[in-house]
Amino acid sequence: MDSQNTLPLKKLLVAEDNESNFLLLMTILKKDYQIIHAVDGLETIQKYREYSPDAILMDIKMPNMNGLEATREIRKLNTCIPIIVVSAFAFDGDKQEARQAGCTDYLVKPIDSRLLKETLKKYLP
């Protein structure tokens, strides 16, 4: 028996307001992670508190509170959780702003499924 198959799946909070983007991420990751979905920054903070995920995939542009504001709030509660931006904003300034907010890594949409899985494995071995 493979002991990896008996371990509980790591919890991944996906903060994404676009349904088709979320469904793509869900399709790529559902076999390897327990997925928790939030559609805006405020819900991301609430679900972070409720579920204590192992990592967060964070869109930047979301309603009510953007991903960078949500990251700053979560960093007040947990300085170690991996927060990986998944965004269409690809400029160096956007990446720098995300790092300053406390994001751990930055992936650009459209998402490369192999790179996404490798990035998550780097932070959730």
The answer to whether residue 94 scores a pLDDT higher than 60 is: yes
**pLDDT, tens only, 5-47:** 567 899 999 999 999 999 999 999 999 999 999 999 999 999 9
Cα 14 to Cα 115: distance, rounded to the nearest angstrom: 16
CB 12 within 8 A of CB 34: yes
Which homologous superfamily does the CATH classification assign to the domain defined by 8-111? Response regulator (3.40.50.2300)
Could you tell me the pLDDT band of residue 3, with boundaries at 50, 70 and 90?
very low
- Domain positions in the chain are 8-111
pLDDT of residue 6: 65
**pLDDT, tens only, 44-70:** 999 999 999 999 999 999 999 999 999
The answer to whether residue 119 scores a pLDDT higher than 60 is: yes
Helices (H) and strands (E) in the chain, counts: 5, 5
